[in-house]
Amino acid sequence: MADRSATAGEELKVLKSPNLILGTLLLGVVLSLLNSSMVNVALNSIMEDLNIDVDKITWIITIYLLTYTVIMPIYGKLGDMFGHRKVYLFGLSLFVTGSILCSISRSFPLLLFSRFIQASGAASINPMSLAIITHVFPADRRGQAMGFWGAAIGAGSALGPSLGGFLIDLGGWNTIFIANVPIGLIALISAYMTLPKVKPQRVFERIDILGAGLMILSITSLLLGLTYGESIGWTSLTVLFLFSVSLIAVIFFIYRETRISTPLVDLTLMLNRTFSSTVLVSFIQMSTMISSSILMPLYLQRVSGFTPSITGMIILFQPFITMLSAPFAGKLVDKFGSRLPVIIGILAIIFSMFFLSMIGGDTSYVYIITFTGLFGLGNGFCSSPLAAAIVGSVKSDRVGSASGLFNMLRFLGSVFGSTLTGIILKSRADLFSAAAHPHPEAAAIRQLYLLLALINLIALFSSRFIGIEKRREKPERDSLL
């Protein structure tokens, strides 16, 4: 086995440049993030063009989130069995196909189906790229590579809104999907040519179809319950039924996954203190990030009276700082391990949320940029070190499964953050309005920022359990595919 690993490692060194492989993977990551952030800008144009009611337009986002979330861990397992390269290429091809279908969709049902196809492919990009980076880069360079991976996430999020608005003004909402196609084809050809072909280490296992069905049923029912609860009431029969189905499904899912020999999701990973602590911190970080992305635009436009263009410029500063700080955080991981940069990042998030809880109608944009920038710094210091902590806490033949489960739970954090922010914001604003507060929305936004600061204290406590990864002189690389 040692000889085989050495041979595979020598092949990677001679035939493939790790930096070229990293660049190829980052192109796919940026593309998937660009797509997600551009669609948010296009919702109003799609609603007007296809004559869709406002209560239905959100399904363009919801169908993508649901599909992305439930398929991600399945891709993780498939990557370990059939090879991360093959699964990455398949997912990227499916994403390009879905983008083509989205661009030609002229009806709401076809657009929803196309978004389902698109999300089915996009769900492979993050976990497979993370797994490939883990095997290509040696331990003493992996943190820096993860840093660039985090910077790619920041770049995609930062460029999406402005690029999406430009494309929509240029040729309508279809152009945001058309733009995915040539970039996706370049990424696909580059991946086919650069990603090394190495035999997977893990043997073939049966896919737990029943487990996949239970997981999909549980998560879908829960998200639908949260979605409908705000509009039709939390005690309505429909919502209670959805929550009951979700609870029953998750109980059966856990029972099954802990008793079969080839589980879909390796729940024993949650017994690993580093893994579970990292997942919790990442869940809270993603919830905070999506919550702030909802609160800040509302504050800037509805409270401060900034125009949409100025709002976009102010918001752009946060992911820009994330993009710049992520590679530096990766270097800290290589030198000190994941724990230190994560703690620094969470402290930055806590302080930024606390000072943003003091904003008012006359707060200067310099103050806002300063502390949203601090928030961006915190995200940059958290994202790639958390990913490094995950892959450093498991054996090489479980990296795909671990990254799939990690990304699924991390992505669920954004889903729950988005849903709960809307619910709490509306309820607090209504309460302040009933109390004749002069600025009910501003008061509600301030309270939510303070709540986010307090919630991140939990993440700060949990970060102490994130271990400093052990360095391996010769990491196993023969399970790349």
Q: How far apart are the C-alpha atoms of 100 and 118, rounded to whole Å?
A: 9
Tokens of 469: 């990864």
Tokens of 346: 């969470």
For residue 62, the model assigns a pLDDT of 72
Q: What is the DSSP string of 340-374?
A: HHHHHHHHHHHHHHHHHTT--TT--HHHHHHHHHH
Q: How far apart are the C-alpha atoms of 36 and 298, rounded to whole Å?
A: 20
Q: How far apart are the C-alpha atoms of 417 and 397, rounded to whole Å?
A: 32
For residue 92, the model assigns a pLDDT of 94
What does each C-alpha distance from 280 to 75, 154, 286, 409, 471 come to in angstroms? 22, 21, 10, 9, 24
Q: How far apart are the C-alpha atoms of 249 and 81, rounded to whole Å?
A: 26
Go through the chain and tell me how many residues it has. 481
User: 37: closest CA among 359, 322, 360?
Assistant: 322
- In the chain, the amino acid numbered 190 is S
The structural architecture, per CATH, of the domain 2-207+262-465 is: Up-down Bundle (1.20)
Cβ–Cβ under 8 Å, residues 258 and 387: no
User: 94: closest CA among 71, 77, 61?
Assistant: 71
Q: How far apart are the C-alpha atoms of 41 and 108, rounded to whole Å?
A: 17
Q: How far apart are the C-alpha atoms of 29 and 95, rounded to whole Å?
A: 12
Q: How far apart are the C-alpha atoms of 370 and 376, rounded to whole Å?
A: 10
For residue 432, the model assigns a pLDDT of 82
Is 264 strand, coil or helix? coil
Q: How far apart are the C-alpha atoms of 64 and 58, rounded to whole Å?
A: 10
- In the chain, the amino acid numbered 220 is T
> Residue 55: enclosing H or E segment and its boundaries?
helix 54-57
> Residue 212: enclosing H or E segment and its boundaries?
helix 209-232
Cβ–Cβ under 8 Å, residues 195 and 88: yes
User: 320: closest CA among 455, 124, 118, 159?
Assistant: 159
Q: How far apart are the C-alpha atoms of 41 and 353, rounded to whole Å?
A: 25
Tokens of 332: 């800290």
pTM over cut 0.75: no
Tokens of 453: 């600061």
Torsion of CA 267, 269, 270, 273, to 10 degrees: 170
Per-residue pLDDT of the chain (481 residues; tens, 9 = 90+): 444 334 344 344 434 688 888 888 989 988 888 887 777 667 767 877 888 765 566 677 778 877 887 788 788 778 878 888 899 999 999 999 999 999 999 888 999 999 999 999 998 888 888 788 878 888 777 777 877 877 787 677 767 767 777 787 788 889 989 999 999 999 999 999 988 776 666 566 677 778 878 888 887 788 778 767 767 888 899 999 999 999 999 999 989 988 887 777 778 788 888 888 898 999 999 889 878 877 887 788 678 777 656 776 777 788 888 888 888 888 888 788 888 999 999 999 999 999 999 988 788 888 999 999 999 999 989 887 888 888 777 776 677 677 767 877 887 787 778 777 777 887 788 888 887 777 888 888 899 999 999 999 999 998 888 864 444 334 444 443 4
φ, ψ at 238 (rounded to 5°): -65, -45
E-strand stretches of 169-266: none
**Tokens 């409908």, residue?**
228
Q: In the chain, count of helices (H) and strands (E)?
A: 18, 0
What does each C-alpha distance from 109 to 65, 168, 227, 441 come to in angstroms? 17, 21, 19, 35
Q: What is the DSSP string of 146-160?
A: HHHHHHHHHHHHHHH
- Neighbouring residues of 251: CB distance < 8 A, sequence distance ≥ 6: none
